Amino acid sequence: MSKVYLTGAGPGDIELMTVKALRLVQNADVIIYDRLANPEILKEVKENTELIFVGKEKGNHRVPQDEINEIIYQCALKYENVVRLKGGDPFVFGRGGEEALYLKQRNIKFEIIPGVTSAISVPAYAGIPVTNRGITPSFRVVTGHRKSSDNIANINWSSFIEDETIVFLMGLHNIELIVTKLLEVGKRKDYPCAIISNGTTKNQKVISGTLENIVSKSKEAQSPAIIIVGEVVNLRDELRWFD
């Protein structure tokens, strides 16, 4: 019987893949992979493994999600070991749940292989802990990208508590709207924030600022990027280590 492994590739650095994810990649008959999965991973595949790229980026969804679901299904009918390789973790804004449901409805066996999410690991590589005793009791991970900007605007912004760290994934192109909404619900203009591009890789770049100036500074940032908002950003000066 074939099985589909919905596999998290981690945040970028290939050494942050799990041992299990690497083993599955090395034994896969076919790998269906995203843009955010480090291409160095593909050097680990065995001979004759089929590679299918289904990456997405803003304004260019090379393969719509419905087609991706069907590609995974058809590969499961053809191959024994199918790896669906996704950047970060498959269940953190990775549509892994949608793909698993699609397979479940068609009686295809699947397994979830969690990955190190960029929501925690990328700030850590920038010297920013998402929580720190005495500064913040909680953190929240929010998508910065939905089907339309209207959906971003309709997030319950007023629910964000004062001392909570907020991590926005895939939000660089919506940063002006994100900042506007945070200011509207009472965040201070001097509230610390940072943009981290290409986190955990040799191309990592960190732009620190405040809600007042981060939009103008964001012109220097590149995708993929995360935005982190909170007092913990101020710890970067003391804890930076990867730069």
Active site residues: 34, 56, 170
CA proximity to 146, closest of 55, 58, 227, 70? 58
> Could you tell me the CA-to-CA distances from 102 to 18, 58, 74 in Å, in that order?
25, 24, 12
Measured between alpha carbons, how far is 126 from 122 in angstroms, rounded to an integer?
Answer: 6
